Amino acid sequence: MIRTVFLLLFAIFFGVVAEAQWKPNYDESKVPEFKLPDPLKTFSGKKVRSVKQWEKKRRPEILDYYQQNIYGEVPGKLAISSVDVLEESSNAYGGKAIRKQVELSFEKNKQSLHFTILIYLPKTDKKVPVFLGYNFYGNHTITDDVNVLISTAWVDNNPSFGIVNHQLTEQSRGVRTNRWAIEKMLDAGFGFATIYYGEVDPDTNDLTDGVQRLFYVDDQQQPADNEWGSIAAWAWGLSRAMDYFEQDEDIDASKVIVFGHSRLGKTSLWAGANDQRFAGVISNNSGCGGAALFKRQFGETIWRINRSFPHWFCDNFKNFNNDEKKLVVDQHELIALVAPRPVYVASAEEDQWADPKGEFMGAYYAGPVYELYGKKGIQNDTQPPVNKPIINTVAYHIRSGVHDVTDFDWEQYINWAQKFIQ
Ligand code: GTR
């Protein structure tokens, strides 16, 4: 007993010291040497020369590796048990759009989960393509529209948004309108759909409060080591939104572009990799666990992300803490799982924590898989100048400024989506 307590104190002490002493590397000359895995060579060393070999062998083995070791697999199927249109109007945005607020419900093992999709669609008699993305603080924060319902789910406090006691109120309505260029999307002929991510799995180190618990048996408290963390749970939610879109007569479900920023940009990539119904993927400032190469260890690292957010990835991912070399994949291969569908990776100049160069390299080195399909990746291996987007099937830009989503970002996404998806 005394020995256990001693060992525990010892471990805590060194953990705290290690954390206090750890500094992110922002020096390019200190990036370790590493060899990037070849997306077109199987784990057993066979060269992949055709789309068929990619789709039959290589793509599934990469996807499986990611499921077992990084994000975690979803332990089973869970279909929508009911769809409820909570509210609908044909007079949103000054009459330019229709609005729907649709609640999806799920039931399993005497547990239930509900989340609400807020949808705006331009008025037309055709089915429309849609941008789908999670928001961080509730659907009512991303628009000034007074009719948007306020979520009752747990939320992280943010006093500058008037969010206290982990509850959303009227006070935070519209506080995040700056991140969503909704009118620009509508004017360009796109619909827009969003969900508060905390309704699918609250972003806490507790996997008993989100969708995972619907799969628990007996007194299980957490998923198995190879099963879903929060990112995979959020990605699961996006696929269920897609299930709904397939039933919505106003939406062209073959043209849904999944978008996400930061942790939700990691999520959009993982959703697009798993669910090939998504027509395109946008990953904005997604950094470590998103578009950035792990093996560069620039800014946020595996150890650091697992320490700050132990619930985001599956438990097996902790085996790679401070051991990036052991990974037989890297994030260019996650991006390649989206191929041949269009993918857009974006960085911000001052967002060094997310490693803009590593994000660029992730996008660049996905190229060979796109080329196998005759699609255009990023042609040049040097990062483009700030605010000069590369708009190919694989698209990339680095914008001036900080970790954020801006109108500039949306203008590029809309322009790219008009070319490759609409
Ligand atoms: C940071 C985290 C990043 C990024 C970001 C966010 O604290 O280290 O990986 O995901 O949060 O989601 O805002």
Is 172 catalytic? The answer is no
CB 228, CB 71: distance < 8 Å: yes
Residue 377 pLDDT: 98
Q: Are strands 251-261 and 128-135 parallel, antiparallel or unpaired?
A: parallel
Asked whether residue 6 is domain-assigned, the answer is no
Asked whether residue 54 is domain-assigned, the answer is no
> Does ligand 1 have an atom closer than 6 angstroms to the CB of 263?
yes
Query: pLDDT confidence of 120, banded at 50, 70, 90?
Result: very high
Residue 17 has pLDDT above 70, yes or no: no
Distance 353 CA to ligand 1 centre (A): 9
Residue closest to 141 by CA, chosen among 124, 162, 123, 122: 162
Asked whether residue 388 is domain-assigned, the answer is yes
Dist. CA 306–CA 289, nearest whole Å: 10
Domain of residue 173: give its range: 61-420
> What pLDDT, in 10s, does the model give residues 59-75?
999 999 999 999 999 99
Query: pLDDT confidence of 14, banded at 50, 70, 90?
Result: low
Residue 4 pLDDT: 54
Residue 6 pLDDT: 55
3-state secondary structure of 273: helix
Lowest mean pLDDT of 14-18, 329-333, 343-347, name the range. 14-18
Residue 387 pLDDT: 98
> Does ligand 1 have an atom closer than 6 angstroms to the CB of 288?
yes
Q: Kindly report whether the peptide bond that precedes residue 384 is cis, defined as omega within 30 degrees of 0.
A: no
Residue with CA nearest ligand 1 atom 10: 263
Most informative mutation of 22, 283, 294, 309 for ligand 1 (most atoms within 8 A of CB): 309
Residue 92 pLDDT: 98
> Does ligand 1 have an atom closer than 6 angstroms to the CB of 262?
yes
Residue 2 pLDDT: 57
Distance 288 CA to ligand 1 centre (A): 8
Distance 261 CA to ligand 1 centre (A): 9
| Catalytic residue selected from 172, 230, 262, 286 | 262
Asked whether residue 222 is domain-assigned, the answer is yes
Most informative mutation of 231, 262, 267 for ligand 1 (most atoms within 8 A of CB): 262
Residue 261 has pLDDT above 60, yes or no: yes
Residue closest to 166 by CA, chosen among 132, 204, 129: 204
Residue 293 has pLDDT above 80, yes or no: yes
CB 311, CB 206: distance < 8 Å: yes
Residue 19 pLDDT: 67
Residue 3 has pLDDT above 80, yes or no: no
Average confidence (pLDDT) over 402-415: 98
Distance 67 CA to ligand 1 centre (A): 21
Encoded tokens for 417: 């989506």
Dist. CA 59–CA 57, nearest whole Å: 6
Residue with CA nearest ligand 1 atom 7: 308
Asked whether residue 118 is domain-assigned, the answer is yes
Query: pLDDT confidence of 249, banded at 50, 70, 90?
Result: very high
Average pLDDT, the chain: 96
Q: Which residue has the higher pLDDT, 152 or 14?
A: 152
Residue 178 has pLDDT above 80, yes or no: yes
Q: What share of the chain is helix, strand, coil (3-state, %, to 5)?
A: 35, 20, 40
Dist. CA 120–CA 103, nearest whole Å: 15
Single-letter amino acid code for the residue at 415: N
Residue 402 C-alpha from the chain's centroid: 19
List the beta bridge partners of residue 117: 102, 195
Per-residue burial over 63-101, b = 16 or more CB atoms within 10 Å of its CB, e = otherwise: beebbbbbbbbbeeebeeeeeeeeeeeeebbeeebbbbb
Asked whether residue 234 is domain-assigned, the answer is yes
CB atoms within 10 A of CB 157: 12
Asked whether residue 13 is domain-assigned, the answer is no
**CATH code, domain carrying 186:** 3.40.50.1820
> Does ligand 1 have an atom closer than 6 angstroms to the CB of 260?
no
* Termini Cα distance of the chain: 65
Average confidence (pLDDT) over 191-210: 98
Per-residue burial over 320-330, b = 16 or more CB atoms within 10 Å of its CB, e = otherwise: beeebeebebb
Average confidence (pLDDT) over 283-309: 98
Residue closest to 287 by CA, chosen among 272, 308, 302: 302
Dist. CA 361–CA 291, nearest whole Å: 8
Query: pLDDT confidence of 242, banded at 50, 70, 90?
Result: very high
Asked whether residue 53 is domain-assigned, the answer is no
Average confidence (pLDDT) over 198-215: 98
Distance 263 CA to ligand 1 centre (A): 5
Is 114 catalytic? The answer is no
Residue 21 pLDDT: 85
- Which are the contacts of 126, defined by CB distance < 8 A and separation ≥ 6? 252
Q: How many domains does the chain have?
A: 1
